[in-house]
Chains A and B, each alone.
Chain A
Amino acid sequence: MRIGVVIFPDSNSDVDSLNALAVAGVEPVRLWHESPDLSGVSAVILPGGFSYGDYLRAGVIARFSPVMRGVSAFAAEGGYVLGICNGFQVLAEARLVPGALLRNRSLRFAGRLVNIKPERLDSPFTRAATGAPLRVPVAHGEGCYYADEATLDELEANGQVLFRYVREDGAPALDPDEPANPNGSLRAIAGVCNAAGNVAGLMPHPERMSEAILGRDDGMQLIRSLVESAAAWDAAQRPAPKAKAEARP
């Protein structure tokens, strides 16, 4: 099975996604930003980094790149797309997932370990998760999840909130100013998916915590979820009504 990792100029955490996929036993495929051809991969990761330098606003240039045409088409078919960090920002800019990522409330880059908790275990991106909080790194300057109240309510109602920042005790870090919430995200939202459930983004880096030698392999639960979902999608052959059904049981 092959999973693609999009390489924008200044994707820099692409190596982490490629590494985690290899650890998970999947053949990672580099997808160059200048081509909309996804080489027949079974799922796509938009990795972390600073696509095109991100000098204007994170992800705002990348959404116009040729590869994003391919990604959008793949998503429209029901293919699984996971955006991590900068990849989440790109997906939000491309309106493939709801909401926006604002500058961290601290106005400082946040690079540290946080705890996130999957809100549901029946999504294609969390199906292999145990449900316990995952300890994974964040590394971003623009990760403050924002949407208006109505949208937030709708996301909650639709089950589109996939991950929240939680305290040590597992309770959501709802106060945007509390240390367990690294960037001031509203309702402690660390990751969301689209309404169809096949496109998801999160700010933390599960792929960087996917080997015990690095301290923990919590993140592998999410990588494995994506791999399992991609395999199911593959098995169902495109088009993918079955995969869609799986996304919204």
Chain B
Amino acid sequence: MSDMTTTPAASVPPVQPEPEPLHRQLGVTDGELEVIRQKLGRDPNHTELAMFSVMWSEHCSYKSSKPLLKTLPTRGNGMMAGVGDNAGVVRIGDGLAVAFKIESHNHPSAVEPYQGAATGVGGILRDIFTMGARPIAVLDALRFGDPKDPRTRHLVDGVVRGVGGYGNCVGVPTVGGELVFDPSYQGNPLVNVMAIGLLEERMLILAEAPGPGNYVVLFGSTTGRDGIGGASVLASATFQHDDPNKRPTVQVGDPFAEKLLIEASLELIDRRLVVGIQDLGAAGITCATSESADKAGTGILLDLDVIPRREPGMAPWEVMISESQERMLATCVPENFAAVREVCERWGIPIALVGRVTTDGDIAIIEGGIGPDGRPNPGAKEIARIPAKALTSDAIVHYRLATPPTRRRQAPAPGIPLTAKDGLPERGMDPAAVLAALLGSPNLSSRHWVYQQYDSSVQSNTVEWPGHGAAVLRVKGTKKALVATTDGNQTVSAIDPHLGAQLAVAEATRNVSITGARSLGITNCLNYGNPERPEAFWQLQEAVRGMGEACRALGVPVTGGNVSLYNEYPGGAISPTPVIGVVGLLEDISLLVRPPFTTEGDSVILVGQSTPGMAGSEYAALAGLSSEDAPPGIDLDREAALQSFIREAIGRALVASAQDVSGGGLAVAIAECCMWSGLGAKLRLGVSGSPAIELFGESPSRLVLSCRPRHAAAIELLARQFGLPADILGTVGGLRLRIELTGHGATGAAEARGSGVADALDVSITDLRHTWDHGLARALGVEGSPGHGLEAARTAVEGEAN
């Protein structure tokens, strides 16, 4: 044994002759140290300080965001677990429930993209099966900088491989997600991963350590020095990219171990062998013990000596905050311990009896062993003692200063008449060329290069594969289906964070509603900048306000989420990015509606109305739109009406296909319905103001559906009942998409302004499909089979290494 395990004093990180005091090295401010002293009634020793530093990190404590998150609507029908638990759990009937949660792994992925992303998947899966649910799906919401940049290509390649490498191996299908490029992520990519699990209601178990005298067991992988301080060092400080000193703080994933952990954990829960179970994520054993004890109102006495180690010579503080992956902490009654051990051993998983549940409410760490009476052996040494709640529910909270930026742009109120300004970038616009450019753009082109590196079909539940809107999973043994999506919004959020968050919630839930499903709840991943900067904190505050308003208006609870702050790097902060994950329930899968057109001769109907504002749109990005314009606003009541309308129409079996209007606007939405079905359409679009806004504007609360012609009148009537305009645009058929522009805003008026907009868009579906198919690979420089540009990717990575 090394000398490092002997005394707490010897356990200081080996950085001795530094002028900076230890607490600051660990990221604890002078003020926070003072609060720690008050809570303990004495000075913390070094192990205790390390434990506080990780538990009071932004990542674990939500110390900046907690006051904001309290304002969110977190109650809903059928909710069995929610905010504060590892994952939200909502009943879906038939004695079943669904668990879901999204989490970020941004900074680890920036340092080491493969392992960062892989362990992001591993971590969120553990949050799911810790609730007693079997993981059934993963979605990855990814954001990177310029796709032409070699470093971005290296990150994209590594992250995609990492998500696949882990998810494929554990046998959980990756069924959806997002891939967005935006310059603001150049130095700080976003890797948000959502996981969904299915459980029988009786399986629900909480992350608690009840019953004084009960055994506390640790099982799964051994504890090593990997990922020490991952949460505090990486996730909770402004990020200096490419710092090799931070590599050891990135955890290393072992999906094989995770798969065994899933099976063993679910068997333990199924057989009621454990009374509480918690995964070890950020802050490792410290977090799992303190949260489990605090939740049950108990304490835990932990024997450091018996924790299985990966390497010798680890100091107590290293063991306590190690973030080695694939570990679980469980509580069982003493009589069940033998059976618990048998299960773990059968699955080939190391297990150790590491502690006892106590009554004193403290996390007490000793060396020297626990006696049969559940007390420390005579001569055992106490290394640390901290009240569990001081680390968790009673952790420090910071009320940060929020200051709006001095110059703000705001969306025009909905209903303001469209005005064609000379500044609108439609001079000489050829709608067909713009549509092709949009479909081939890095953000709107097909993502198959990504999702074809994922196993999307394992478990035999995948009804709708990635690529065409929300993922759909059947629920075996029932008529039900789960519908899942993630949607974020960074472009509007950069202009108006309140509106951006509302739009993200609206789009994500709309994507669920257009399948006919009802949203059960949202899980959110809030990716923002340094909360100590008043302007960044204002963005977060506005986003939470907007998200809460949208959720209330749409009647969807927030079931959990994750806040990722400090997403900054020397080049600046990311655009504020709320990513919203939604799971919806479709009671009868036979009613499922998808985006592609289905039948020649069907009527195409646009429901909803465009509103002014082009800022934040893909068209604006393409055209380099002047910053004087504003993004389109949202009327949440109208959004709620639209979603209710489409669910009702689908429930009455009136709808053949439905697609929401979002990125790239109406033209892109219709083009997708065509490309994905191979069916063209002949349409007329009335233009009252600007053709660009009608075709490519991204104002929310709109959808395009197709239906049998005999149902068109019923749909128009139903839309009217919901207070929504519905226009029959034309008919499905042929192999071309033709949109004729009519009305006083079309050619004539545009010609009068000298903008020379063509009066029709007329393109072959095959050509659109080709453009769309190849856009991403072209942007990433990985075009051409079979390696999809392997050489290019390799060059990029090697270039990086050099």
**Chain A residues in the interface with B (C-beta under 8 A):** 9-10, 12-13, 15-16, 19-20, 48-50, 52-55, 104-112, 137, 139, 141, 176-179, 181, 184, 205, 207-211, 213-215
- B residues less than 8 Å from A205 (CB atoms): 457
Bound-complex Cα distance A108 to B788 (A): 9
Knowing A9-B347, A213-B474 are in contact, say whether A108-B453 is a contact too (CB < 8 A). yes
Quick one: closest A residue to B455, CB to CB? A139
- B residues less than 8 Å from A179 (CB atoms): 785-786
B456 contacts A10, CB within 8 Å?
no
B453 contacts A111, CB within 8 Å?
yes
Quick one: closest A residue to B466, CB to CB? A111
A49 contacts B171, CB within 8 Å?
yes
Quick one: closest B residue to A178, CB to CB? B785
- B residues less than 8 Å from A105 (CB atoms): 786-787
Bound-complex Cα distance A13 to B460 (A): 9
Knowing A207-B460, A208-B460 are in contact, say whether A10-B785 is a contact too (CB < 8 A). no
Point out the residue from A104, A111, A177 that lies within 8 Å of B456, measured CB to CB.
A111
Bound-complex Cα distance A207 to B457 (A): 10
A208 contacts B458, CB within 8 Å?
yes
Bound-complex Cα distance A106 to B782 (A): 11
Quick one: closest A residue to B172, CB to CB? A12
Bound-complex Cα distance A109 to B463 (A): 21
B787 contacts A211, CB within 8 Å?
no
Candidate in B171, B454, B455 with the most chain A CB atoms within 10 angstroms:
B455
Bound-complex Cα distance A181 to B254 (A): 30
What distance in Å separates the Cβ of A28 from its nearest Cβ neighbour in chain B? 13
A9 contacts B589, CB within 8 Å?
no
Knowing A52-B256, A139-B455 are in contact, say whether A13-B171 is a contact too (CB < 8 A). yes
A sample of 23 inter-chain contacts (CB < 8 A) reads A9-B347, A10-B170, A12-B169, A12-B170, A12-B171, A16-B460, A19-B460, A50-B169, A50-B255, A52-B256, A105-B786, A109-B161, A109-B168, A109-B455, A111-B453, A111-B455, A141-B168, A177-B785, A205-B457, A207-B460, A209-B457, A210-B460, A213-B463
A106 contacts B463, CB within 8 Å?
no
What distance in Å separates the Cβ of A186 from its nearest Cβ neighbour in chain B? 13
**Contact digits for B352-381, partner A, Cβ 8 Å, 1 yes 0 no:** 000000000000000000000000000000
Majority-rule SS of A interface residues: loop
- A residues less than 8 Å from B259 (CB atoms): 9-10, 12, 50
Closest 7 CB pairs of A and B: A12-B171, A53-B256, A139-B455, A106-B787, A137-B457, A177-B786, A10-B259
What distance in Å separates the Cβ of A179 from its nearest Cβ neighbour in chain B? 5
- B residues less than 8 Å from A9 (CB atoms): 256, 259-260, 347-348
A107 contacts B459, CB within 8 Å?
no
Bound-complex Cα distance A184 to B474 (A): 33
Quick one: closest A residue to B589, CB to CB? A213
Quick one: closest B residue to A49, CB to CB? B171
A109 contacts B786, CB within 8 Å?
no
Is B462 part of the contact surface with A, judged by Cβ < 8 Å? yes
What distance in Å separates the Cβ of A211 from its nearest Cβ neighbour in chain B? 7
What distance in Å separates the Cβ of A232 from its nearest Cβ neighbour in chain B? 27
Is B164 part of the contact surface with A, judged by Cβ < 8 Å? yes
Interface residues of B in 159-197 (CB under 8 A from A): 161, 164-165, 168-171
A16 contacts B459, CB within 8 Å?
yes
- B residues less than 8 Å from A10 (CB atoms): 169-171, 256, 259-260
**Contact digits for B251-274, partner A, Cβ 8 Å, 1 yes 0 no:** 000111101100000000000000
Bound-complex Cα distance A55 to B253 (A): 12
What distance in Å separates the Cβ of B2 from its nearest Cβ neighbour in chain A? 29
Is B714 part of the contact surface with A, judged by Cβ < 8 Å? no
Is B626 part of the contact surface with A, judged by Cβ < 8 Å? no
- B residues less than 8 Å from A177 (CB atoms): 785-786
Quick one: closest A residue to B349, CB to CB? A9
Bound-complex Cα distance A137 to B165 (A): 18
Is B451 part of the contact surface with A, judged by Cβ < 8 Å? yes
What distance in Å separates the Cβ of B285 from its nearest Cβ neighbour in chain A? 25
Candidate in B161, B256, B460 with the most chain A CB atoms within 10 angstroms:
B460
- B residues less than 8 Å from A15 (CB atoms): 171, 458-460
Quick one: closest A residue to B787, CB to CB? A106
Quick one: closest A residue to B448, CB to CB? A112
Bound-complex Cα distance A175 to B521 (A): 48
Is B452 part of the contact surface with A, judged by Cβ < 8 Å? yes
Is B433 part of the contact surface with A, judged by Cβ < 8 Å? no
Bound-complex Cα distance A36 to B450 (A): 40
B460 contacts A214, CB within 8 Å?
yes
B788 contacts A139, CB within 8 Å?
no
